[in-house]
Every structure is written in structure tokens, then in C-alpha cells.
Chains A and B, each alone.
Chain A
Amino acid sequence: MQLAGPNGAGKTSLLRIIAGFSTPDEGQVIWQGESIAKNYDEFARELLFIGHKTGVNGQLSAIENVRFWLQIQGYDTKQDLYSLLAKIGLVGLEDVPVRTLSAGQQRRVALIRLWLNNAKLWVLDEPFTALDKAGIAFLQQRFLSHLAQGGAILLTTHQDLTTHFNELQTVTLEYRH
């Protein structure tokens, strides 16, 4: 599902409410028949959130960042991260501090998580920012395989999706005071 709308329409705010960071003024977020506020930890297990602020620490290297994220999410860290990093186009850059990488490369470090989780719901705020064409296409391939496994994706983007998604729904928010 794609959230569209002009700047300031509230796309990011809505995503943050859905991810459970903010509480809505009215109403509630229901996940599988239950309010997420009731049992947030259960919901968090099914959720992968990547926001504007990507959660990547600039002082640490790509590999350290990924490993830390795996640990705080309770995933196994003894997997072959190097080949995964190579696949996503970060070969030879695994051990330098992330802040020395380009914006697009930093975004890739954040997006590695998409290959390393079994969350059902992905909430992505502008995932294509700073990525090149090849990167965007590669990312959309990953979206397809996630959807094929029965996952759901909720994202905001200003770019049009280049790959064809069968079940794509677009919700447009309008700017209103």
C-alpha cells in the first residue's frame, strides 16, 4: 500500500502512529484484531520500521550497524553478512565508519534489514530517497518477494513505483489545516 500526498499532509505522522511511536488524538491502530497499544511487544515482533531517520549510527561500520540491529531484534547474528553486503553493493566498505559513505550508500546500509527479517509488516518512510535507479529496481524486487511470502508493505514515496505490483493500493492524503 502506498501513501501519497503533498508535503505536510501527514504521511510521516500517520506512519509513526501506525508504528506505535505516537498516539493518535482519536481512534486506535488495530493489528490482527487487537489494538497495538494493548500488546505492543507482540506487534513489534511483526513490524519492521525504517523512517526518515534510519537508525544507522555514523560512527560504527556497516557490519557493526547491521549486527547491532540483529541483536536488538533478537535475530541470530552468526550469518554470512559479508555476502549480503556485497549483494546490496557495499563491497569493500563493510568496515569503514558509515558516516564516511555517500547518502545512497548509507541508505543501503539501513535497507539491508529488509533482507534480514521475518516481520510481516514493513512500514517504510521514503525508502527510495538517495538511491540510484539500479538500487530502486533492486529494492522493488525485494518488495515483490516479500509480498509473495504473504507480507504487507506500507510506504510513502514521491517517486512512482517502476515495477508493477498487482495488489498496489494508493491512499492519498490531502493537505488540510
Chain B
Amino acid sequence: MLRQHSYWQLFSAVCKKDLQLAFRQRAEIVNPLLFFLIVITLFPLAIGPEPGLLARMAPGIIWVAALLSTMLGLDKLFREDFNDGSLEQLIASSYPLSLTVLGKVVAHWIITGVPLVLMTPLFALLLNLDNQALLATVLTLLLGTPLLSFIGAIGAGLTVGLQKGGILMSLLVLPLYIPVLIFATSAIDTSTMSLDYSGQLAILGAMLVIAVISAPIAISSALKVSVS
């Protein structure tokens, strides 16, 4: 039995499995998007349809909706693997667990984050955002949604062993999302004033780098606790 160690093989296997499963149950991809769309629809109904007001509030609305819709998929991130015992097999593999975790988080981002980015022009239309702001929104979502996946996965890992982990997870994760929310919305705000917002993007990028490096360690130790 030949055994060759390739980190890429592990990463792609884990990532591919999750994508495969998501594409077999497309509701997993579509439902968070619909949720996002409905939340966005609620705001004009709640605060009035005045275009100026909507454009002013759009960054906040889009980002709060993005936070909430990411939370929807997070609860399922490790749940299935935990229930059927795959998580144990992944821990008992001779590969580092943080690499496995990285694969799963990337898959989660492809399933929840990327469609959101692709749908942004539609949301911009609904909320009366101009092109400049649209570009800023796309850029912040591009940098920000993987961050949400990484931070959220820590909460998902900590609560996967619990019967009713969903609400608890949002309680743990949402406070940690605050910096992402602040910098992302401020970047969009700045762009509507035709000012340079590369500073905010740089901070988001720096946070993403920190998350990619440190979050997998936290997630894998959280998973080990949950499995024990």
C-alpha cells in the first residue's frame, strides 16, 4: 500500500468533498442567498423607500445581512462530519488537522461568500447604490467574507458537539465580527464620498492574513475538544 504525503491532496480532497455535497443539495447554496435577499427587502419596507436614505444606509444593510447569512451555513460546517464520525477520521489522519480545517473553511467561503459577491450588483440596484459604491462593496465583500468564514468556523468548531449550538454560536461569533463590519462599511461610506478607501481595504486584508494563519489553529483545537 503506497503512501505518499501530499498536503495539496488532503486540502483538495477535503475542499472537493464539501463542494460536492453542497452541489448535491443546492438548497445549501441558494437558501442563504435568498435569506440575504429577503433581509435586504425588509429594510426599504421598514425605513421607507426614499432613494437617498437607502443609499446612505446601504453599506450597513448589506453588511449586516452578509453577517447574518454567513451564520446560516456555519452551523452546518462541521455538524455532518461530527455526526457521522468523519471528524474522528480526519483527526486520526497523519496530516495536521489545521490543514484539513483550512480546506473546509475555503469550501465554506466558496459556497457562501462567492455567490454573495457575485450577487452584489443586484443588491446595489435594490438599494440605489452608485457604481463607485458598488465597486467598493464588491471589494469589501471579497476581502471580508473569507474573514467571516474563518472567524465563524472557530465558533462552529467550539459548538459542534452541543445539541443546540446554533444560537450560542452566533453569540460567540458576532462580537468578533465587529471589526470587519466597521472597516467594511466605512470603506463603502468613504467611496460614496469619492475619497480613497484603500486604507480600510488594507486593514481588512491584514486581518484576513492574520485569520488565515491563526484561525486554523484555533479551529482545530476547538474541534479536538468537541470530539473528545
State if A and B touch, Cβ cutoff 8 Å.
yes
A residues in contact (CB < 8 Å) with B: 16, 19-23, 41-42, 44-45, 47-49, 51-60, 64, 68-69, 71-76, 116-118
Most chain-A CB neighbours within 10 Å: which of B20, B88, B91, B227?
A: B88
Whether B85 lies near A74 (C-beta < 8 A) is no
The verdict on A57 contacting B84 (CB below 8 Å), with A22-B228, A71-B10 known, is yes
Whether B89 lies near A60 (C-beta < 8 A) is no
**Total number of residue pairs linking A and B with CB closer than 8 Å:** 96
Whether A53 lies near B4 (C-beta < 8 A) is no
Interface of A is mostly: loop
Looking at the assembled complex, report how far the CB atom of B81 sits from the nearest CB atom of chain A, in whole angstroms: 8
B residues in contact (CB < 8 Å) with A: 1-6, 9-10, 13-14, 17, 20-21, 24-25, 80-81, 83-86, 88-96, 100, 224, 227-228
Given A55-B86, A75-B3, 20 more A-B residue pairs with CB atoms under 8 Å apart are A21-B227, A21-B228, A47-B92, A53-B88, A57-B21, A57-B84, A58-B84, A59-B21, A60-B21, A64-B17, A68-B13, A68-B17, A72-B14, A72-B89, A72-B95, A73-B93, A73-B94, A74-B95, A76-B2, A117-B1
Contact of A19 (CB < 8 Å), options: B1, B4, B92: B92
* Chain A neighbourhood of B80, CB < 8 A: 57
Nearest to B12 among chain A residues (CB) is A71
* Chain A neighbourhood of B5, CB < 8 A: 74
Looking at the assembled complex, report how far the CB atom of B121 sits from the nearest CB atom of chain A, in whole angstroms: 33
Whether B13 lies near A57 (C-beta < 8 A) is no
Whether A44 lies near B228 (C-beta < 8 A) is no
Interface of B is mostly: helix
Whether A53 lies near B17 (C-beta < 8 A) is no
The CA-CA distance from A71 to B4 in the complex, in Å, is: 10
Whether A55 lies near B13 (C-beta < 8 A) is no
Contact of B93 (CB < 8 Å), options: A23, A44, A54, A76: A44
Most chain-A CB neighbours within 10 Å: which of B5, B89, B92, B100?
A: B92
Nearest to B89 among chain A residues (CB) is A55
The CA-CA distance from A92 to B212 in the complex, in Å, is: 43
Contact of B13 (CB < 8 Å), options: A44, A72, A117: A72
The CA-CA distance from A62 to B86 in the complex, in Å, is: 14
* Chain A neighbourhood of B89, CB < 8 A: 49, 55, 69, 72
User: Mind listing 7 A-B residue pairs with CB under 8 Å?
Assistant: A19-B92, A51-B85, A52-B85, A57-B86, A71-B10, A72-B90, A74-B95
Most chain-A CB neighbours within 10 Å: which of B84, B91, B224?
A: B84
Nearest to B81 among chain A residues (CB) is A57
Whether A53 lies near B85 (C-beta < 8 A) is yes
Whether A71 lies near B9 (C-beta < 8 A) is yes
Whether A53 lies near B83 (C-beta < 8 A) is yes
Looking at the assembled complex, report how far the CB atom of A154 sits from the nearest CB atom of chain B, in whole angstroms: 14
The CA-CA distance from A16 to B92 in the complex, in Å, is: 11
The CA-CA distance from A161 to B187 in the complex, in Å, is: 68
The CA-CA distance from A85 to B49 in the complex, in Å, is: 62
Looking at the assembled complex, report how far the CB atom of B107 sits from the nearest CB atom of chain A, in whole angstroms: 13
Whether B88 lies near A55 (C-beta < 8 A) is yes
The verdict on A60 contacting B20 (CB below 8 Å), with A22-B228, A49-B88, A49-B89 known, is yes
The CA-CA distance from A55 to B87 in the complex, in Å, is: 7
The verdict on A72 contacting B10 (CB below 8 Å), with A21-B227, A55-B84, A55-B88 known, is yes
Whether B1 lies near A118 (C-beta < 8 A) is yes
Looking at the assembled complex, report how far the CB atom of B221 sits from the nearest CB atom of chain A, in whole angstroms: 12
The CA-CA distance from A72 to B1 in the complex, in Å, is: 14
Whether B94 lies near A45 (C-beta < 8 A) is yes
* Chain B neighbourhood of A73, CB < 8 A: 3, 93-94
